[in-house]
């Protein structure tokens, strides 16, 4: 059970005015933050990453992170409190009230360890701190958030085996919002999350997509308003991670992922271009189970 959260240190928008955000040329080719049409969004820049916020959900639609594996640093999180982003109204983001005195964790969308890099310790430390804005928090059942070794390890695996541009990798992460999401304290809790990793392979853009699910864990939380669809057995089980066609992620989220769909290196995505959403998902038990149209370790 989470203890009551301390009040965060007061910040102003000026404190964040120097943040450059995600570099669209990070891989040496243009790769923008995916857009979301027909909905009100706000793009917020941080150190090494940007977050596209959805006003209607008060959560991120997608985060965009550039990882420089050759400059990663090992820093702890001591002394860093979660806090609201002063550039966004409190009513447009989800803060401490959602996570206090319950078993919902503040899961990082932008993985802290992946963002902590830089030419200097000061740059890495700023990135470390920036990952603790509530805009980067994802409401996750505590048991789920603490059992994501495979999900989190995919970034490290791809950096070690796939990235051939100075060990650089771009990762887009976010919730998969749906009408089945249960409501807790006025906030819809996403049942699933997605990740799309992009890197260069033989000089061209390559990408691969993933989905992870927390449906069973949310059944155990008290005071959740469950839509009727929650009464049915979920299609996915606890802690199961899937490699999926990126076009499925685009269909489920509404994000413009066309450039990444074209770069998808999952063979079934090309072999079955009209397959129904979820029908071509591949369950992963470890990163070596990835199905790609080339050998990562060559």
Q: pLDDT tens, 73-118? A: 999 988 899 999 999 999 999 999 999 988 889 999 999 999 999 9
Per-residue model confidence (pLDDT) at position 232: 39
| C-alpha–C-alpha distance, residues 149 and 275, integer Å | 29
| Residue indicated by tokens 């702890």 | 76
What residues does each domain of the chain span? 13-289
Residue 8 has pLDDT above 80, yes or no: no
Q: What is the CATH number of domain 13-289?
A: 3.40.570.10
Q: What pLDDT digit, counting tens, does each position of 131-173 carry?
A: 999 999 999 887 777 778 889 889 999 988 877 667 899 999 9
Residue 228: CB atoms within 10 A of its CB come to 8
Q: How confident is the model at residue 233 (pLDDT cuts 50, 70, 90)?
A: very low
Give me the chain's average pLDDT, please: 88
Closest listed residue to residue 211, CA positions, set 119, 284, 144, 269:
284
| Residue indicated by tokens 């006003």 | 55
Interacting residues of 231 by C-beta distance below 8 A, sequence separation 6+: none
Phi-psi region of 139 (alpha: psi -120 to 50; beta: other; left: phi over 0): beta
pLDDT above 70: percentage of residues in the chain: 87
């Amino acid at each position: 059970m989470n203890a009551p959260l301390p009040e965060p240190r007061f910040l102003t928008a000026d404190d964040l005015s120097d943040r450059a955000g995600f570099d669209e040329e990070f891989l040496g080719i243009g790769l923008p933050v995916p857009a979301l049409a027909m909905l009100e969004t706000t793009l917020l820049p941080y150190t090494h990453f940007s977050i596209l916020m959805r006003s209607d959900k008060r959560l991120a639609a997608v985060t965009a992170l550039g990882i420089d594996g050759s400059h990663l640093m090992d820093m702890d999180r001591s002394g860093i409190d979660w806090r609201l982003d002063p550039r966004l109204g409190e009513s447009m983001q989800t803060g401490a009230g959602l996570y206090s005195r319950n078993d919902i964790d503040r899961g990082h969308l932008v993985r802290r360890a992946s963002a902590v890099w830089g030419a200097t310790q000061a740059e890495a430390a700023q990135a470390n701190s920036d990952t603790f804005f509530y805009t980067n928090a994802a409401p996750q059942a505590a048991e789920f958030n603490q059992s994501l070794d495979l999900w989190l390890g995919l970034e490290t695996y791809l950096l070690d085996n796939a990235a051939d541009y100075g060990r650089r990798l771009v990762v887009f992460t976010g919730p998969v919002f749906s009408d089945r999401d249960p409501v807790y304290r006025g906030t819809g809790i996403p049942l699933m999350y997605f990740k799309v990793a992009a890197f260069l392979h033989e000089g061209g853009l390559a990408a691969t997509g993933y989905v992870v699910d927390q449906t069973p864990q949310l059944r155990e939380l008290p005071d959740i308003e469950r839509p009727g669809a929650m009464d049915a057995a979920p299609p996915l089980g606890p802690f199961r991670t899937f490699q999926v066609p990126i076009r499925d992620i685009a269909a489920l989220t509404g994000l413009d992922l066309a450039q990444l769909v074209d770069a998808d290196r999952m063979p079934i995505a090309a072999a079955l271009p009209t397959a129904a959403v979820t029908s071509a998902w591949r369950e992963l038990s470890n990163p070596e189970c990835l199905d790609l149209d080339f050998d990562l370790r060559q």
